[in-house]
Amino acid sequence: MRILVPPEPLALAEGERSIFLAGSIEMGAAEPWQDALIPTLRETGATILNPRRAAWDASWVQALENPVFREQVEWELAAQELATVVLMYFAPTTRAPVTLLELGLLARSGKLVVCCPPGYWRKGNVDVVCARHGVEQAPSLEALAAAARRRLGPAR
């Protein structure tokens, strides 16, 4: 299993299966839920696309004109488009406005699975969007990983 993180190139072979880990980060305020999820995805054999950059600097200006910031956002958007499956987690302790944006972008993609536990400040909105667009919801991180394993099947 390979794990790609920004700014690594998104070099996927033809037919290579991949999982994008979308969800709460909030410039490092969210717990590193990706670290807990990744080992449970190992048996899929899929490449993991993890947007949590190791060298993130919260002082970076979040503007189109900032090349490092733009590189991060462009990497995430490209990775979501390339991914076979997108797993999305809304941590109850965060607001995750970018994740809400990504939910809107991906709700019709057919490759999204969402985990939005009780306590997330906009859980009702997330639930309605998922119901309207037939997005599978998982009640826990464990169930989120199980959904990815079910969708991808065994490693090739």
pLDDT band at 55 (very low <50, low <70, confident <90, very high): confident
- Tens of pLDDT, residue by residue over 76-111, are 999 999 999 999 999 999 999 999 999 999 999 999
Question: Residue 58: its pLDDT value, please?
Answer: 80
Comparing C-alpha atoms, which of 118, 113, 115, 114 is closest to residue 92?
118
Confidence of residue 34 (pLDDT cuts 50, 70, 90): very high
Look at residues 83, 94, 126 and name the one whose alpha carbon lies nearest to residue 107.
Answer: 126
Question: Model-level pTM?
Answer: 0.95
Residues paired with residue 94 on neighbouring β-strands, in sequence order: none
Asked if the model's pLDDT at residue 28 lies above 80, the reply is no
Candidates 67, 116, 56, 125; CA nearest to 89 is 116
User: Domain 3-152, what architecture?
Assistant: 3-Layer(aba) Sandwich (3.40)
Contact 28, 57 (CB under 8 A): no
